[in-house]
Copies of this chain bind each other. A is one copy, B any other.
Amino acid sequence: MRYAILGTGSVGRTIAAKLSELGHEVTVGTRDVAATLARSETDRMGNPPFSQWRAERPAVRLATFADAAANAQAVVCALSGLATLDALRAAGAANLAGKLLIDISNPLDGSAGFPPRLDPVDTDSLGEQIQREFPDAKVVKTLNTMTAAVMVDPGRLAGPSTVFLSGDDADAKKAAAALLGEFGWSGSSIIDLGGIETARGAEMATGFWLRVYVALGTGDFNFHIQRGR
Contact = CB atoms under 8 A, between A and B. Distances in A.
A159 B157 CA distance: 16
Contact of A122 (B118, B159, B222, B223): B118
Given A193-B212, A201-B207, A158 B223 contact: no
A201 B212 contact: yes
B210 A201 contact: yes
B212 A191 contact: yes
Contacts of A205: 204-205, 208
Interface in A147-198: 156-161, 164, 166, 191-194, 198
Residue from A198, A200, A228 with most neighbouring chain B CB atoms (10 Å) = A228
Interface in A104-139: 115, 117-118, 121-123
B215 A191 contact: yes
A137 to B, nearest CB: 22
Interface string A72-96: 0000000000000000000000000
A220 B216 contact: no
Given A118-B122, A121-B122, A220 B210 contact: no
Contacts of A216: 191, 225, 227
Contacts of A218: 228
A166 B221 CA distance: 19
Contact of A225 (B194, B198, B204, B221): B221
B211 A202 contact: yes
Nearest to A223: B223
B208 A194 contact: no
A138 to B, nearest CB: 19
9 contacts: A158-B226, A158-B228, A158-B229, A201-B208, A202-B208, A212-B225, A221-B227, A221-B228, A224-B226
Given A194-B215, A204-B208, A222-B226, 19 more contacts: A121-B121, A158-B227, A159-B159, A160-B226, A161-B226, A166-B211, A191-B216, A193-B215, A198-B215, A200-B207, A200-B211, A216-B225, A216-B227, A220-B228, A221-B227, A222-B225, A223-B223, A223-B226, A224-B224
